[in-house]
Amino acid sequence: MTDSPATIPARTRHKIFSFARVKAISGNTLLELIRLKVFYFLLLFALVIIGFSAFVLNFTFQEQFQVLKDVSLGAMSIFTVLLAVLSTAMLLPKDIEDRTLYTILAKPVPRFEYLLGKLLGVLLMLLVATLLMSAMFGAALYLRQEMVVSATLRGAGNATPDQVQAAIREIKQQTFTSSLVPGIIAIYLKAALCASITLFISTFATSWIFTILTSVMVYFIGHIQSTAREYWLASGNGSQLAKIFMFFVTLIFPDLQLFNLVDDIVAGNSIQMAMFWKTAGLGLSYSCVYLLAAYFVFSAKEL
């Protein structure tokens, strides 16, 4: 005689989706990544910031802030994308090699939860890395600002208090702008998108080298996807074959250029929040779709 579902105690009943299981997998993934000492790259990030800060000391304060912001945010963008691709590419092959994957999937853990947990673990690691880098960048920028302000005060000479205040206001306006925050969020979203693409590729890849190379290729193509789309949408007289090719590039690859906001934000552009939320929404949709695609391939995989 078997128990009907109604007679099984609630605590032992298997749920189709359990956030607790996803949380456990993502926590373990984060822990694994931390044990791999991925955060050592922060030392390199700090060196880049300090190095460039010292390098531009003879420049005007506008140039100093400009270079510091560009280099820091550029380094942040490189490091987050590299971390996203490299750490995600290793996830599945490592679990298969260590046999951890079989242990997990032998338990009543749906494959979707496994993939979601793995991706969330990487996203958490990226979040911590982005926050730490932002804090370092903010501190470096603040220190530079204070140095420029104190130099201005020292060289004020016969300037009236109003003129000195105006000069300090100008310096502070050049240092921190509210658009920097959406710019940094866009960097994170791009890295998250790269992580989900890498996860998708790793579900059918034959080796982690293939995963990394393909992800890097997608990254480069993603930055010129908008050119392909515009070629396809334009009603020009281009060859039919080229148009079909561009059409497929547009359909398959993500438009990563849309997440490159920091270049123009540092140059002084301000971003409207409505536009930013649309971009962020697109980034999240991409991540969800690639995760789902990864699940479709992974669920049919014979392990």
86/124 with CB nearer other proteins: 86
How many CA atoms, within 13 angstroms, populate the side-chain half-sphere of residue 95? 22
Q: From CA 179, how far away is CA 273, in angstroms rounded?
A: 9
Among 233, 242, 273, 284, binds other proteins (CB under 8 A): 233
Report CA dihedral (69, 72, 73, 74) to the nearest 10 degrees: 110
User: Are 23 and 113 spatial neighbours (Cβ–Cβ below 8 Å)?
Assistant: no
The residue (of 156 and 255) whose beta carbon lies closer to other proteins is 255
Q: Which of 130, 134, 152 is nearest to 69 (CA)?
A: 134
Which of 34, 217 has the CB closer to other proteins?
217
Instruction: Tell me: does residue 292 bind other proteins (CB under 8 A).
Output: yes
Q: Which of 210, 226, 231, 243 binds other proteins (CB under 8 A)?
A: 226
Query: Whole-angstrom Cα distance, residue 141 to residue 138?
Result: 5
Q: Would you count residue 256 as binding other proteins (CB under 8 A)? A: yes
Q: Does 176 bind other proteins (CB under 8 A)?
A: no
Cβ 11 to other proteins shortest distance, Å: 35
Q: Can residue 177 be called a binding residue for other proteins (CB under 8 A)?
A: no
Contact between 55 and other proteins per CB under 8 A = yes
Angle between helices 225-233 and 208-223 (to 10 degrees): 50
Which lies closer to other proteins via its Cβ, residue 97 or residue 263? 263
Kind plus residue range of the DSSP H or E element containing 119: helix 111-154
Q: How far apart are CB 217 and other proteins at their closest, in Å? A: 12
- Nearest by Cα to 72 from 61, 62, 80, 84: 80
296 interacts with other proteins by CB under 8 A? yes
Which of 1-9, 86-94, 118-126, 261-269 is the region at the interface with other proteins (rule: CB under 8 A)?
Answer: 261-269
* Given 151, 269, 273, 284, the residue binding other proteins (CB under 8 A): 269
Q: What angle do CA 297, 87, 265 make, to 5 degrees?
A: 105
Under rule CB under 8 A, residue 278 binds other proteins:
yes
Report the Cα 71 to chain-centroid distance in Å: 17
Is 213 among the residues that bind other proteins (CB under 8 A)?
A: no
59, 155, 165, 209: residue in contact with other proteins (rule CB under 8 A): 59
Q: Footprint of other proteins on residues 68-97 (CB under 8 A)?
A: 70-71, 73-74, 77-78
Closest CA to 186 of 105, 76, 96: 76
